[in-house]
Amino acid sequence: MNQVYQENIQVGEVANGLPLTIPVYRIKGNGTGPKVYIQANMHGAEVQGNAVIYQLLEQLKQQPLTADITLVPYANPIGCNQKSGEFTLGRFDPITGVNWNRMYHNHDALIEHFVEQHLESPISDIKQQFHALLVEKTQNLLNGPAHSINTGKRIALNLQRLAHNADIVLDLHTGPISAQHLYCPEYAQSSASYFDIPHTLLIPNEFDGALDEASFCPWWGLSDAFKARGREIPILVEAFTVELGSQEKIDLAQAAEDAQGILSYLTHKEVLLNSPYKPKPMKRFACMLKDYKAYYAPMGGMVEYSAELGAHLKAGEPIAYILRMERYLAEEPLHTLTIEQDAIAILHFASASVNQGTELYKFFTHYFEL
Ligand SMILES: [Zn+2]
């Protein structure tokens, strides 16, 4: 039985002066495998990842491990408390309007100098020292004058400092109403088949402020910079955003299954010894990020979403009905929306009332089997 350690880290203060804290759980391994960092609930309504961390802890306690695993539920203590009536908001900082998952720091600027200094270093030194540099530079930002960092950036930097210690980073999210899907950097495509997730989005080396990108972009850039100097080194960190399903929902049985998929991936990465976890046989489909298409409401109205999430739709099939009762006598009140090309429906808007231009659905297009 592994010991689980808890530390509460302070990530800010609220208006009455009290500290904002986040629980950090750690389990130790024998030190031979890749370090793992898993967080959940950066977006307030996306709560299922907390249940997955619970189920992971229940399993990991009993499993011999090669590496240290850090698990952080409730990663954003402001987000999950941001309620309006019975709903949780928590996707955007209510003061600045900025997405909570777009405030991580881009450490690209460190790469060139580091490569110059390590042209001949063994890979193990490169790995250890670049991890240390990323952690140190993130800590330096936190050590700067308190007036130089806004609320969301301070939360993000505290999490990023923990994530930069790890070789494997999983950020657990959900869609609004959503099928499970995985954001996977293009170079890690072969790892996607170990998660029990049927839909994978393959993303390029572009930094847009999210934790997965903040975790893998520096290492992808490092590998590219070495290549430009004539030396091939692998990309030494893998990071994923795992979209577990729908927001505002805890499903403990589903969380146990979600945890099994993560444990199967961690088994593939040799984090677990004598592991019983294997990927489930299933058809897995992938789509390049550029082919992940938003479908905006062409008119305002009341929506019945008819496309089943995860369903493979043919061009011309109906995906939703829009009801416009103020036009009942003046025109046809019921409009059928169709999809123009073959697609997989991945997620849809959470509300039945929409403005013209609301993002109704997101679809995989030009998808292929993994
Ligand atoms: Zn999210």
Residue ranges of domains in the chain, CATH in brackets: 4-282 (3.40.630.10), 292-369 (2.40.50.100)
Cα-to-centroid distance, 244 and ligand 1 (Å): 10
Cα-to-centroid distance, 333 and ligand 1 (Å): 35
Cα-to-centroid distance, 113 and ligand 1 (Å): 34
Cα-to-centroid distance, 126 and ligand 1 (Å): 32
- In the 3-class helix/strand/coil scheme, how is the chain assigned residue by residue? CCCEEEEEEEEEECCCCCEEEEEEEEECCCCCCCCEEEEECCCCCCCHHHHHHHHHHHHHCCCCECCCEEEECCCCCCHHHCEECCEECCCECCCCCCEHHHCCCCCHHHHHHHHHHCCCCCHHHHHHHHHHHHHHHHHHHHHCCHHHCCHHHHHHHHHHHHHCCCCEEEEEEEECEECCEEEEEHHHHHHHHHCCCCEEEEECCCCCCCHHHHHHHHHHHHHHHHHHCCCCCCCCCEEEEEEEEECCCCCHHHHHHHHHHHHHHHHHCCCECCCCCCCCCCCCEEEEHHHEEEEECCCCEEEEECCCCCCEECCCCEEEEEECHHHCCCCCCEEEEECCCCEEEEEECCCCEECCCCEEEEEECCCEEC
Q: What is the pTM of this model?
A: 0.97
Cα-to-centroid distance, 241 and ligand 1 (Å): 9
Cα-to-centroid distance, 284 and ligand 1 (Å): 22
| Distance from chain centroid for Cα 204 | 15
Cα-to-centroid distance, 42 and ligand 1 (Å): 7
- Kindly give the confidence (pLDDT) of every residue in the chain, 370 residues in length, as a single tens digit, with 9 standing for 90 and above: 899 999 999 999 999 999 999 999 999 999 999 999 999 999 999 999 999 999 999 999 999 999 999 999 999 999 999 999 999 999 999 999 999 999 999 999 999 999 999 999 999 999 999 999 999 999 999 999 999 999 999 999 999 999 999 999 999 999 999 999 999 999 999 999 999 999 999 999 999 999 999 999 999 999 999 999 999 999 999 999 999 999 999 999 999 999 999 999 999 999 999 999 999 999 999 999 999 999 999 999 999 999 999 999 999 999 999 999 998 998 899 999 999 999 999 999 999 999 999 999 999 999 999 9
State both tokens at 121: 């270093």
Cα-to-centroid distance, 114 and ligand 1 (Å): 32
